[in-house]
Chains A and B, each alone.
Chain A
Amino acid sequence: MDFIANLPPHFFRIPIALTLVISLVFINALIMVYLERKIAGHMQFRLGPMEVGWHGVLQTAIDAVKLMSKQLIVPEKAHTKLFRIAPLLAFTPAVLPFVVMPFAPKLQAVDINIGIIFILAMASLNVMAIFVAGWASNNKYGLLGSMRSVSQNIAYEIPVLFSLLSAVFVVGSFSLGDIVGYQSKIWLFMIQPIAFLIYFVSSVAETNRAPFDLPEAESELTAGFHTEYSGMAFALFFLGEYTEMFVVSSIATAVFLGGWHGFPLPFFEYSSVVWFLLKTYFLMFLMIWFRWTFPRVRFDQLLNFSWKYLIPFSLVNLLITAVVVKL
């Protein structure tokens, strides 16, 4: 028994946290798909799903069951192993960032001192999955989609990094717990409005959401990198995408929008997760709004926008922040 008692606390907290996180991920996907379809419906003078359950609330659950019962068809000339691994690659790294996410003062699995870097590292693994998927399916549309994905992600990860760095400069710590703690009086987006805007725009591009959904641009590449995927493999990509949305929105909430800070609630150390989720879902609502309003940008315009505007602006912003902090 001594052995168990001597184990570091992380040994127990991380599995529990991961279990909770995975259920959160699935529930989030269920909610997000439903919300997306409902909001899109109402934006388009439609009702959205109405048939299954009250106002269609069970529609996504039924869809998930349907997808699970579908066969995964592997194309004849595809690279079978990579083709099967790719969806897992897309999904797994999307879950891991939640381990360090500060949902509430007491609701954070581990607060490692390089939290932000860990999240960024995990989030950027997603591009590899998309590339593997497009390449392995031996489909020209898939290949074009994955090629786009790589250059897009490289271009947009830089402004994401720079804008988060300027927030880190202000706080003086990479730990997400410290960053949220710093914002008890003033939220960082008031100090760093440009960084927040750049971060949010780039993160929409990084999650491959419209208007930057080039890797899966329907009208050009049919379905881009997941053209050949069916059944649960396709669902995992979908799940990965919605989880990624949740991740980038939670980072924006934690770093720029004050995390769990809000009006006091009973049992604040746990219940303040409400504020966190409210802010996160508001950002995700914005992403849905973008998708159903804007046309898609062109590939060269997308890259130009990053290299010519976002990166220089975020660099200048970073420089000014550094100078001001030093003073």
Chain B
Amino acid sequence: MTFKNETESENLEKSGQHKFLLNMGPQHPSTHGVLRLVLEMDGEYVTGIDPVIGYGHRMHEKIAEVRPAQSFLPNTARMDYVCALPYNHGYVSLLEQMTGIEVPERAEYIRVITVELNRLASHLLWLGTFLLDLGAFTPILYCFDDREQILDILESVTGSRLTYSFHRVGGVYKDIDDNFIEKSRAFIKRLEKRFSVYDKLVTGNIIFRKRTEGVGIVTSDIARRYGITGPNLRGSGISYDVRKAFPYSIYSKFDFEVPVGKNGDCLDRYYVRINEMKQSLRILSQALDMIPEGDIRAKVPKKLKIPKGQSSFSVEAARGELCYYMVSDGTDVPYRLKARVPSYGNLSALAEICEGMLLADLVAVMGSFDLVIPEIDR
């Protein structure tokens, strides 16, 4: 891949097109993480986008090839640190699928509860940062206030606040107690009331609507071509959620809907995420009611031999479909692990969607896409 550089910038000037290159990132307030966008600008208009990724490359997939499969678990949490538990969940589920370990039902419930809490935390953080990208400073603190409650709840059971390694092969690390359930119920009540606050502060605001309505339209065609998943895909009107389409874990037991948008603009993606939070709350309260007693971990040998073969497992992470693919040569160390992360597809579409846009709209679209760059870089 060739990068646009200074010489190219000079060529642009000489060509008399009145265009210039603008280097946005890797350090820029609204390229969350370390994304670099090389923008070809015509005044305020963006005529070309060239995303440069890889600044946060940590060789996670290579690391998976050199250590026992179970000890790779902490690395999964560091790919997408905003919503780490689905990454745990997908990885341990893949290993269970390959080795044929049965998971106690209570453990699956705990997994779903923690994953949904984490999804809520992730969407709350997105809501705050999206509005920060639009120039509203206050909502992020409201959102962090709510998110803090989730982190406290999760901390009480997992021991960490951001990069959890809570799910284990065959179950979970620790059982939840009545205190956890009580606090989660209190939180559900709290957040349900808070939606009206967000509505008043954000949804009804005329400036917010003007900034998001009809901006950054992702047609279902673009979404399919680039492999966009998650709320961004559902914003374009395609009802695809791994939890519904290929129910894994115990998601088939819950009654919930998949919110979809119509036009695929920023406002639709906003609505989809807000409604998804409400659905997550529904799943949570059902799970808290239905959780059975029992073991939280199956018996798993210390040295977990993975049978020869290959397998993949998909889960719905906060940003879209996360798929792990593993090839094993019969030892306890995987031969190859590949993670298909949602943000990569979402970022790829950015160049096509945002061509010819104003710089401010590009920032809004990027914010509405909820990109987490370290999961792309891995």
A binding-site residues for B, Cβ under 8 Å: 40, 43-46, 140-141, 144, 147-148, 210-211, 213, 217-222, 291-301
B binding-site residues for A, Cβ under 8 Å: 20, 22-23, 28-30, 41, 43-44, 131-138, 141-142, 145, 201, 205, 207-208, 210-211, 358-361, 363, 367
Known: A40-B137, A295-B205, A296-B136. 14 other contacts (CB 8 A): A43-B138, A44-B138, A140-B20, A140-B41, A144-B22, A147-B44, A217-B360, A219-B367, A296-B211, A297-B211, A299-B44, A299-B358, A301-B210, A301-B211
Give Cα A296 to B207, complex, Å.
Answer: 7
Minimum distance in angstroms from A302 CB to a CB of chain B: 10
Q: Is the CB of B145 within 8 A of A298?
A: no
User: In the complex, which of the residues A147, A148, A292, A293 has the most CB atoms of chain B within 10 Å of its own CB atom?
Assistant: A293
Give Cα A122 to B317, complex, Å.
Answer: 56
Q: Which residues of A contact B23 (CB under 8 A)?
A: 140
Give Cα A301 to B142, complex, Å.
Answer: 27
| Known contacts A140-B22, A211-B207, A295-B211, A220 near B359 by CB under 8 Å | yes
Q: Which residues of A contact B132 (CB under 8 A)?
A: 219
| Known contacts A45-B142, A140-B20, A220 near B207 by CB under 8 Å | no
Q: Which residues of B contact A222 (CB under 8 A)?
A: 28-29
Q: Is the CB of A295 within 8 A of B131?
A: yes
Q: Which residues of A contact B138 (CB under 8 A)?
A: 40, 43-44, 292-293
Q: Is the CB of B207 within 8 A of A218?
A: no
Minimum distance in angstroms from B370 CB to a CB of chain A: 15
Q: Is the CB of A219 within 8 A of B141?
A: no
Give Cα A295 to B135, complex, Å.
Answer: 5
Of A144, A211, A291, which contacts B359 at CB under 8 A?
A144
Q: Is the CB of B142 within 8 A of A213?
A: no
User: In the complex, which of the residues B22, B28, B41, B135 has the most CB atoms of chain A within 10 Å of its own CB atom?
Assistant: B135
User: In the complex, which of the residues A40, A144, A294, A301 has the most CB atoms of chain B within 10 Å of its own CB atom?
Assistant: A294
Q: Is the CB of A220 within 8 A of B137?
A: no
Q: Is the CB of A219 within 8 A of B30?
A: yes
Give Cα A202 to B367, complex, Å.
Answer: 29
Give Cα A293 to B205, complex, Å.
Answer: 10
Give Cα A293 to B360, complex, Å.
Answer: 19
Q: Is the CB of A45 within 8 A of B135?
A: no
User: In the complex, which of the residues A221, A222, A298, A301 has the most CB atoms of chain B within 10 Å of its own CB atom?
Assistant: A298
| Known contacts A40-B137, A44-B138, A298 near B211 by CB under 8 Å | yes
Q: Which residues of A contact B211 (CB under 8 A)?
A: 295-298, 301
Q: Which residues of B contact A44 (CB under 8 A)?
A: 137-138, 141-142
User: In the complex, which of the residues A211, A220, A222, A292 has the most CB atoms of chain B within 10 Å of its own CB atom?
Assistant: A220
Give Cα A296 to B361, complex, Å.
Answer: 11
Q: Is the CB of A297 within 8 A of B44?
A: no
Minimum distance in angstroms from A221 CB to a CB of chain B: 8
Q: Please give me the residue from chain B that is nearest to A217 by CB atom.
A: B135
Q: Is the CB of A210 within 8 A of B135?
A: yes
Give Cα A220 to B137, complex, Å.
Answer: 14
Q: Is the CB of A299 within 8 A of B360?
A: yes
Give Cα A296 to B136, complex, Å.
Answer: 7
Give Cα A222 to B133, complex, Å.
Answer: 11
Q: Which residues of A contact B41 (CB under 8 A)?
A: 140
Of B20, B135, B207, which contacts A219 at CB under 8 A?
B135
Minimum distance in angstroms from A135 CB to a CB of chain B: 14
Give Cα A43 to B145, complex, Å.
Answer: 13
Q: Please give me the residue from chain B that is nearest to A304 by CB atom.
A: B210
Give Cα A111 to B211, complex, Å.
Answer: 45
Give Cα A21 to B161, complex, Å.
Answer: 52
| Known contacts A219-B135, A220-B359, A298 near B20 by CB under 8 Å | no
Q: Is the CB of B44 within 8 A of A292?
A: no
Q: Which residues of B contact A218 (CB under 8 A)?
A: 29, 135
Minimum distance in angstroms from B331 CB to a CB of chain A: 49
Of A40, A147, A210, A220, which contacts B360 at CB under 8 A?
A220
Minimum distance in angstroms from B238 CB to a CB of chain A: 28
Q: Which residues of B contact A301 (CB under 8 A)?
A: 210-211
Q: Which 8 pairs between the two chains have the least Cβ-Cβ distance?
A: A296-B135, A44-B141, A295-B136, A295-B134, A219-B30, A219-B133, A298-B360, A295-B135
Q: Please give me the residue from chain B that is nearest to A298 by CB atom.
A: B360
Q: Which residues of B contact A293 (CB under 8 A)?
A: 136, 138, 201
Q: Please give me the residue from chain B that is nearest to A45 by CB atom.
A: B145
16 contacting pairs across A/B (C-beta < 8 A): A45-B145, A140-B23, A144-B44, A147-B43, A219-B29, A220-B363, A292-B138, A294-B136, A294-B205, A295-B135, A295-B208, A295-B211, A298-B210, A298-B358, A298-B361, A299-B44
Minimum distance in angstroms from B350 CB to a CB of chain A: 16
Q: Which residues of B contact A220 (CB under 8 A)?
A: 30, 359-360, 363
User: In the complex, which of the residues B30, B131, B207 has the most CB atoms of chain A within 10 Å of its own CB atom?
Assistant: B207
Give Cα A218 to B367, complex, Å.
Answer: 14
Q: Which residues of A contact B137 (CB under 8 A)?
A: 40, 44, 210, 291-292
Q: Which residues of A contact B136 (CB under 8 A)?
A: 293-296
Give Cα A210 to B134, complex, Å.
Answer: 11
Q: Which residues of A contact B134 (CB under 8 A)?
A: 219, 295-296
Q: Which residues of A contact B28 (CB under 8 A)?
A: 222
Give Cα A221 to B134, complex, Å.
Answer: 12
Minimum distance in angstroms from A46 CB to a CB of chain B: 7
Q: Which residues of B contact A45 (CB under 8 A)?
A: 141-142, 145
Give Cα A44 to B138, complex, Å.
Answer: 6
Give Cα A148 to B363, complex, Å.
Answer: 17
Q: Please give me the residue from chain A that is nearest to B134 by CB atom.
A: A295
Q: Which residues of B contact A147 (CB under 8 A)?
A: 43-44
User: In the complex, which of the residues B29, B131, B207, B360 has the most CB atoms of chain A within 10 Å of its own CB atom?
Assistant: B360
Q: Is the CB of A295 within 8 A of B207?
A: yes
Q: Which residues of B contact A295 (CB under 8 A)?
A: 131, 134-136, 205, 207-208, 211
